[in-house]
Structure 1
Amino acid sequence: MERNRFTILHTMDTTSSNQNVQDATLLRRVWDWRQPLLIAGLLGGLISAAASFLIEPEFQSSVVLFALPQQSMGAQFYEEVKREDILAYGETEDAERLLQILNSDRIRRRVIEKYDLWSHYNIDRDEAGAQAAMAKVYAGKVGANLTRYGSIRIEVYDAAPEMARNLANDIAQLTDSVSNQLRNDRAREALHYAERSLRQNQNEIKEMEGRLGDLRSIGIYDFPIQIEGLNEQYATALAEGQTTRAENIQSKMERLAPYANEYNQLTTKLEDAYEQEAVLKKRYDLNKLDAESQIPAAFVVDRAAASDKKARPVRWLITVMGAVSLALAALVFLLMRDAIR
């Protein structure tokens, strides 16, 4: 057992020693090749620096906004129990939904048409693949993402600082407008059904009230009370021996009797219809308010301003990356050449 342990430790020491030797060899080779590597790095830096001046400089403008919860305004006014606070900031889910709208094709198409980005980006819309080309350029110049604070940051790059500012501000405004439009469209559909149900209910009430009017025209105003009164009069007439009067009262009761069921059914249905009308009217008013109201979908914290400093390209970074990349490529080439030999 001691022998095995010694063997393992010896193997580990040998492996570690070999690794150290390889590292030292690599470092020694890099030092020996320092002149060509330095030349390659300088050459890469010069080429990258020259190439960076061929890239059109762009300015950045950004808008920071917080999403607001999309609540029913009608519910805030017509419901007794308020489910949510209308003044509260939106949660992450609200921000994600707004971000989906912000990155939607509907927003992109409106921005492209409003600012004629086909001409601005020099893209011929009649050429094959023009839509894909526009989408690629637009995605490279316009972006939006969630920040760690739960807000949404819209960033726009353009060669003209005023254009970048206008695009960023309008995208934020269009996002709010489209969000309201989507909410209003849903509310209008609900309003259509609520209005149809309310009208149907009111027509039924009108028909039943009309039939009750017909019954009143023949002397039936409140059947239970009338029958109760006639019964008392009939009993009194019999008690007083007024036979003729009793017969007249009985004749009146017999004339009213055929309408008993109809009157009772009408009054019962009318009570239910009036209650239903109150509910439907409330729903109608609620959906009407939602369909017509314009609730902000976002609260803009920082509006975009025209920048006076170029945001890209970052020439020093391009130069450094070019120098490092060409130096590494030269090192790989030298190592491969040495290995082949």
Structure 2
Amino acid sequence: MSTSDSQLNSTHLLRFIFDRLKTFIAIGVGAAVLSSAVALMIEEQFKSTVIMFATPQHSIGEQFYEEIKRNDLLEYGETEDAERLLQILNSDRIRTRIIQKYDLWLHYDIDQSQPGAQALLGKEYNSNVDARLTRYGSIEVSVLDRDPKRAADMANDIAFLADSVANRLRNDRAGEALGYAKSSLEQVQQEITTMEDELGQLYGLGVYDFATQIEGLNEQYATAIAKGLPGNAEKIRKQMAEISNYANQFNKLSNLIEAAYEREAILKKRFELMKLDAETQMPSAFVVDYAAPADKKSKPIRWLIVVMSVASTLVFALLALLAAENLKDSSAA
């Protein structure tokens, strides 16, 4: 198409609009009045927002019982930590508790007995509650509601429940590990008790420290022989022979119980570490800004609704009139 043809088409379109200017004005005014009435009927909604940063989910017990600290509980979480917290914020656990606490079935006017009620409630909840990552690495939880105080309370409760759910998950996981650590510790302690009882029996037979006793008796035996005391020497020899009968048992128990004591010390440390993880509540996020009741509505933006309605109506009217004009010209031809 040439430049002159384009100019002619543009001129023709402007001429077409000018010739029907009153019609377009009437349509525009009608659309404005109608869209204004509809916009005024739309319920106002207020938005409240919580801003938080995720914290890394490190072992708390490790910070107290390990000599080398590999992690810092006070540092900000990475993207992976934020995404994990985001999953918790959008979880059914939090959604269910918010629905129950604020009776959203009644608030959103949804009949629980109607088919698809759960899906309808979920759709309404998701349209009013949103949690997302920001470009600064923080998490924004926003709630829309016709009551500004309710919106702020819901947003703050969602942030609080994220801590509660995260701690519950961590404590449950640590609790399972604590159970294994406890059973292992009790098993080792039972083994130690058994070996201590067996050593107690050897102590009762006069065997206290086989190596030290044999060394002392050898010296006494040599001294008795050197002094020409065969009676004493024979008595000492019999004593050495008697305790030698328990040498293997004593040495075996001594080695086993020493290793058991070392295992008990390690397991006690692990048990205390896991017990702390299982019982301690730690924040899963640093809340930067808590939600406050908004003093200005967020939705609807009425002027934008009116402008968009009038513009779309005029465009549709123009296309309809152009189509009618073309049909008229075709019929005439």
CA distances 1:20-79 after superposition (whole Å, capped 9, x unpaired): 734751563255135244544443333222211221111111111111222211111111
Amino acid at match of 1:33: I
Q: Distance in 2 between matches of 1:31 and 1:114?
A: 63
Q: Distance in 1 between matches of 2:216 and 2:190?
A: 33
Among 90, 93, 98, the alignment partner of 2:77 is 90
Tell me the percent identity.
53
Equivalent runs, 1:112-123 vs 2, <5 Å: 112-123=99-110
Task: Answer whether contact 1:49 1:315 (CA < 8 A) is retained.
Answer: yes
Structure 1 residues 24, 211: CA separation in 2 closer, same or farther (over 3 Å shift)?
farther
Give the corresponding residue for 1:33: 17
Task: Answer whether contact 1:69 1:88 (CA < 8 A) is retained.
Answer: yes
CA root-mean-square deviation: 1.9
Among 158, 171, 190, the alignment partner of 1:171 is 158
Q: Distance in 1 between matches of 2:295 and 2:11?
A: 46
Among 151, 170, 183, the alignment partner of 1:196 is 183
Structure 1 residues 270, 148: CA separation in 2 closer, same or farther (over 3 Å shift)?
same
Shift of 1:255: 1.3
Structure 1 residues 165, 31: CA separation in 2 closer, same or farther (over 3 Å shift)?
farther
Structure 1 residues 308, 269: CA separation in 2 closer, same or farther (over 3 Å shift)?
same
Structure 1 residues 31, 247: CA separation in 2 closer, same or farther (over 3 Å shift)?
farther
Q: Distance in 2 between matches of 1:218 and 1:329?
A: 110
Give the corresponding residue for 1:322: 309
Residue 33 of structure 1 aligns to a residue in which SS? helix
Q: Comparing 70-79 with 235-244, which one deviates more in the overlay?
A: 235-244
Amino acid at match of 2:17: W
Q: Distance in 2 between matches of 1:23 and 1:80?
A: 83
The answer to whether the aligner puts 1:158 opposite 2:145 as a matched pair is: yes
Q: Distance in 2 between matches of 1:28 and 1:213?
A: 115
Q: Distance in 2 between matches of 1:188 and 1:76?
A: 18
Residue 215 of structure 2 aligns to a residue in which SS? helix
Residue 312 of structure 1 aligns to a residue in which SS? coil
Shift of 1:130: 1.0
Give the corresponding residue for 1:252: 239
Give the corresponding residue for 1:220: 207
The answer to whether the aligner puts 1:269 opposite 2:253 as a matched pair is: no
Please, which runs of 5 or more residues in structure 2 have no aligned partner? none
Give the corresponding residue for 1:288: 275
Amino acid at match of 1:32: F
TM-score (norm 1): 0.90
Q: Distance in 2 between matches of 1:45 and 1:145?
A: 36
Amino acid at match of 1:333: A
Residue 221 of structure 1 aligns to a residue in which SS? coil
Q: Distance in 1 between matches of 2:80 and 2:8?
A: 55
Residue 253 of structure 1 aligns to a residue in which SS? helix
Q: Distance in 1 between matches of 2:246 and 2:236?
A: 17
Please, which runs of 5 or more residues in structure 1 have no aligned partner? 1-14
TM-score (norm 2): 0.92
Give the corresponding residue for 1:111: 98
Residue 288 of structure 2 aligns to a residue in which SS? strand
Q: Distance in 2 between matches of 1:267 and 1:335?
A: 105
Amino acid at match of 1:186: R
Residue 298 of structure 2 aligns to a residue in which SS? strand
Among 32, 42, 56, the alignment partner of 2:43 is 56
Q: Distance in 2 between matches of 1:143 and 1:276?
A: 50
The answer to whether the aligner puts 1:307 opposite 2:294 as a matched pair is: yes
Amino acid at match of 1:151: S
Q: Comparing 93-102 with 329-338, which one deviates more in the overlay?
A: 329-338
